[in-house]
Amino acid sequence: MTFLCQFNLKLIIINIMNKNLQTVFSYHEETKHAHHKYARSLGYMDWANQPNPYRTYQGALHVELPLAFENTTPPYHLIFDNDIPSAPLLLESISQLLQFSMGISAMKSDGHNEWALRCNASSGNLHPSEAYLILPPVENINKSTTISHYAPKNHSLEILNEFDSKIWETLPKGSFFVALSSIVYREVWKYGERAFRYVNLDAGHALRSVQVSAKTLGWKCRYLSEVSDEALAKLLGFEQKERFSESEIPDMLLLITPSDHFDEVDISKLMPNRFESIAMNIAQEYQNWQLIDDIEKATFTCKGNLYKKIEQSVIKREPTKETKDVILKRRSAQMMDADDNHISFEKFKTILDSTKESFSGFDNLANLVIFVHNVKELKSGLYIFVRAKTYLNDLKSSLSESFIWEEVSEDLYALSYGDFKTTAQNISCNQGIASDGAFSLGILCPFSDEIIKHGAHRYKELYWECGAIGQQLYLEATAIDFQATGIGCYLDDVFHNLLGLKSNKFQSLYHFTIGKALVDKRVLTKELYRNRL
C-alpha cells in the first residue's frame, strides 16, 4: 500500500470516528428530558404490537435446565470475599448461574393478567437483554463446543451451534463464556428515542446480575473489553441478517473462570459453523426511529480496547440471608412510604461503599450525587460520594462554587445542607418516589473527555457502569429489608444546573431512590415455573 493510500485510509477512519462522536453527542442532547419537552416517543401505548419479552429460536435443540430453588447459596454478605470455593462446571452449576442472574424471580397477577419479574432489573420490565453461553463439552449438555441461547421462560438452553474449538486449552479448566446482547426494540416500543439509554442501563443490570450469581459459585467474571462488537456479532451469528426480523446488537462477552485470568483472550479460536436456527419475531409491526438506527451504528465497534487490571474493594457487611433469597426478593418499588423512610448512617454508608467495586473491570468512572432526606446522624442536604477519586479535583472545579465540600465520612462530602425533597421530586419527572424514600441520587459520569478519548463505544460502557451500580444498589437495599427503584425519567439539565455544571464534561446518566416501599396488596404472587414443578 502506498503512503498516499495509507494517508487517505487514515483520513477516512478519522472522519468516521469524528462522525460517530458527533452522533453520540447529538443523540444524548436530543434525548434529554426538560420541563417544556420530553424526548420524542410514540406518545401512546401500541398494545397490539407489544413486543414478546422472550426470544425463541426455531430449529434449535432444547436442553431443559434443573431448577435451582433448592440449591444452597452462601450468605450474601460473604460472596464478595475470595474464600467461596469454586464449583465444578456442571449442568447444575450452569443452571444456578443463569436462574439467579437472568431467570424469572416471581410471577405476579392482578386477577386478570399475569406478568413475570426477573432477577436482573429492567426499565419498564421490558427486558431487552439476552444471554448466550459458549460452553466447552459438558456432560448432559454437549460433547463439543456449543453456543446456546438462554430461554428464561422455561429455564432452558437453546443450542444454536456445535463445533470443535481449541480455545479451552488456553484457559483455566472449567472456563466458559457468557455473552450479553440487546433487542433495542423492546424499549423503543414504549420509550421512543430515549430507549437506547435504557437498553444500556439494562445491559449493566444484566452484567452485575451475572457477576453476583457467579460469585455464589466461587467463579470469577471478567468483561472482555478487547472483544469488538464486530467479532462478538460474528460469534453469535448476528451478522446473518436473514435470521432476524428485528435488530439484536452484541453488548459484551464475559469470561467465567474458577480462578482469576487476566491474559488477553483471542476469540478467533472460536470458529462457529453457519447458524441454521431462525429467531422468531417479537412483534408484528415495528416503529422506525432514525435516531435509534444512527446511535446503534455509531457505537458499534470493529476494534475493542484492552483496559488495565485494577484492584477491587471489599467491604464488611452485617450478616445476611442466603444470596438466592436476596436475589429473588429484589423488586422495583412503585411507591415509597414517606412516613417510614429513615435509615441508619451505618447502613447508608455500607450501601454506598458497596458500589466501590469495579463492575466493568477498569477504573471506576461514576460518582453518586445524593439527596439525603432521612439518614440518621446526617443532616438533610445534597452530598456527593466519590467512587472515582481521580476525578475529585475536576469535580470540585466543575461543580458550583457555592458548594462547601465538607468531608463527613470517607469519600462522602456534603455540598449543601437543606431540604431537597421538592427538588429531587421535580428533577425525577415529578415522581414522589424520589422524595419519599430515605435518599435518592443521580449517577454523575465523566462524559465528553471519556468518549473523545476512548471512542463512541464508551457511551455504552458508561451506561453499563451506571446500570451495574443500580443492580448493586437494588441488592444492597434488599439485603437489609429496604427497597429501591431505578429512575430513568429525570430532567437532565435541571439536575446539571443544580450542580452548577456549565458543559458536558460531566453528565448524569441514571437516577435512583432507596427507602421503604408501599406494597400494592391487590397484586398476587403466583408459583414460579408451574409447568416444571
d(CA 107, CA 114): 7
For residue 241, give every residue at least 6 positions away whose Cβ sits within 8 Å of its Cβ, in sequence order, or none.
none
- What local confidence, expressed as pLDDT, does residue 83 receive? 83
Average pLDDT estimate for 423-434: 97
Tell me what percent of the residues of the chain surpass a pLDDT of 70.
95
What's the rounded mean pLDDT across residues 316-326? 90
Tell me how far apart the alpha carbons of residues 111 and 521 are, in angstroms, rounded to a whole number.
12
How many residues in total does the chain contain?
533
Question: What is the rounded distance in angstroms from the CA atom of residue 169 to the CA atom of residue 173?
Answer: 8
Query: Of the candidates 228, 225, 132, which has an alpha carbon nearest to the alpha carbon of residue 177?
Result: 132
Residue holding cell 444492597?
A: 476
- On the question of pLDDT at 7 being above 50, the answer is no
Count helices and strands in the chain by DSSP H and E runs: 14, 19
Select the more confidently predicted residue: 133 or 358. 133
Instruction: List C-alpha distances in Å: 506 to 121, 170, 405, 417, 499.
Output: 25, 40, 18, 22, 10
Distance CA 134, CA 141 (A): 12
Q: Where are the domains of the chain?
A: 47-298, 332-515
Residue 284 above 90 pLDDT? no
pLDDT at 106: 93
Each residue of 30-48: b (16+ CB within 10 Å) or e?
ebbbeeeebbebeeeeeee
Residues 525-530 have a mean pLDDT of 82
416-420: average pLDDT? 98
Mean pLDDT is highest, among 78-87, 253-262, 500-509, for 500-509
pLDDT score of 531 more than 90: no
Q: Which of 428, 389, 424, 431 is nearest to 410 (CA)?
A: 389
pLDDT (mean) for 211-225: 96
Greatest alpha-carbon span in the chain = 74
pLDDT value at residue 91: 97
What average pLDDT does the chain have?
A: 92
The answer to whether 322 and 246 have CB atoms below 8 angstroms apart is: no
CA dist list (Å): 148 to 92, 228, 267? 16, 20, 16
H-helix segments, 192-314: 195-216, 229-236, 290-298
Q: What is the CA radius of gyration of the chain?
A: 23
CATH superfamily, domain 332-515, is NADH Oxidase (3.40.109.10)
Contact criterion met (CB below 8 Å) for 532 and 361: no
- Cβ neighbors of 288 (< 8 A, separation 6 or more) are none
Range of weakest confidence among 7-11, 136-140, 197-201, 475-479:
7-11
Region 189-196: what's the mean pLDDT? Answer: 97
So what's the pLDDT on residue 530? 76
pLDDT of the residue at 5: 42
Q: CA distances (Å), 276 to each of 56, 153, 163, 504, in order? A: 13, 22, 13, 46
DSSP annotation string for 358-409? -SSSS----EEEEEESSBTTS-SEEEEE-S-GGGHHHHHHHS-TT---EEEE
Alpha helices (H) along 124-194:
185-191
Give the whole-angstrom CA distance, residue 454 versus residue 365.
Answer: 13
| Identity of residue 98 | L
Q: Are strands 129-135 and 483-487 parallel, antiparallel or unpaired?
A: unpaired
Q: Pseudo-torsion of CA 173, 307, 102, 130, nearest 10°?
A: -110
CA dihedral defined by 233, 234, 235, 236, rounded to 10 degrees?
50
Domain 47-298 and domain 332-515, same fold? Reply is yes
Res 308: pLDDT: 67
Pick the CATH number of 47-298 from 3.40.109.10, 2.40.50.140, 2.60.40.10, 3.90.180.10: 3.40.109.10
Q: Which of 77, 287, 258 is nearest to 176 (CA)?
A: 258
Alpha-carbon dihedral 416, 422, 426, 429, rounded to 10 degrees: 120
* Tens-place pLDDT, residues 301-313: 988 887 766 666 6
Task: Judge whether residue 103 has pLDDT over 50.
Answer: yes
Q: pTM of this prediction?
A: 0.95
- Nearest Cα to Cα of residue 227 among 139, 307, 132: 307
Residue 178 has pLDDT above 90, yes or no: yes
255 or 109, which is more confident: 255
Report the C-alpha gap between 291 and 190 in whole angstroms: 15
